[in-house]
Structure 1
């Protein structure tokens, strides 16, 4: 593929992923080019961004495009990882390169679950078989616990003339924690995001982590007699799991204009001159459920 202006390469990448996701039957797909996303500390320019919803879960992906003659270095993957950590909702990260990636970039990307793709014309040395592998990952919440300041709770109950109190808290990700004057301090969802940022190495591993408050924090109990409770910490037991995998396998032919290669696993996807996936000649679509 001849070298194009960076914007042409980005818009072509946008068309490629839009076409692939549509071809794979993913619905409610929103693929955009050159967008700004507001993070926790800064606003980030994103080359290509897509999101779609399945079974009530919103999946987000940030794509960085490198239309360079040289292979992408590790530092570029560091930069993308920092952007992903700053964005809410734990989006997945992908880097698309015309010239490939240095070994250090590949090693770091694998360790942090960042996808690497080469998008260019097929070389003679390419294997004439291709596929694209999608994995759906979700967080499974095994247990959550809100740790209360019991001396404060007993004192407050005595002040209100209560001999006993009982309430059931919401699931941790739905709780809003407030200050003494009722101002929102943080949400349970943000705490979960901070305690369990998505990392490729964490898939299949279960962790129990605690967030401790360093200032007086309260939560709504939903009980009129004791309307709020003072919270010391939140403990969450969570596991990232792969629950579905889709793999499409094709055989190449002379009409292949571009190849999208997954650098991590070596799989290829064949595209026509417009960036659309070519119809399969061999190989069915297989969806493998994963626990």
Structure 2
């Protein structure tokens, strides 16, 4: 089945539209992209072009036509000559040629002389990943980044220092059970006097990995003995000795 080139024309058109959208130029107005556009030349003859692209910037309208050729070989100088001949009688056009396979050296020279922009639009190939000397470009970067999510605390228990509890008259076991009931986790603090540590229960989850390096993903249990410590509210007006 012969290659009509229609799919390639649509590919080039879609890429052109994507580039315009990605550019996000505020002053670019009245953008119009058409496929199989017919334009009259000086003789009044309709000339059809694969893709027509028109936009306005700074009060001036720019018109471009794109010739799309899905060839299996490089574009020759004769093809460039034919494009020049076709557009000679239509003033004010920017000329663009697009192909998958590249251009012969003569075609490149002729295109440069006539300000024709040459595009190669195709899927990437292995040779795209080497420079002119054959040195490979960096193609893949693999990152191995350790990532830790702070554990979520589902259950939290404190051991009240029973000797301290008996030695004071302010708090009973029942009062202690309710004293922090209305406080948020970031307003309840654990103080380890010997280690000069003070952290909220909310921040405890972030410290658990430091306190236990062997903690694995999944359900864990952590126990810590504090010789000289207490649990308190934010302004330290309430202190309960723990151990």
| TM-score of the two chains, using structure 2 as the length reference | 0.49
- Which of 1 and 2 has higher RCO (CA within 8 Å, sep 6+)? 1
Which one has the bigger strand percentage?
1
Would you tell me which structure has more helix in proportion to its own residues?
2
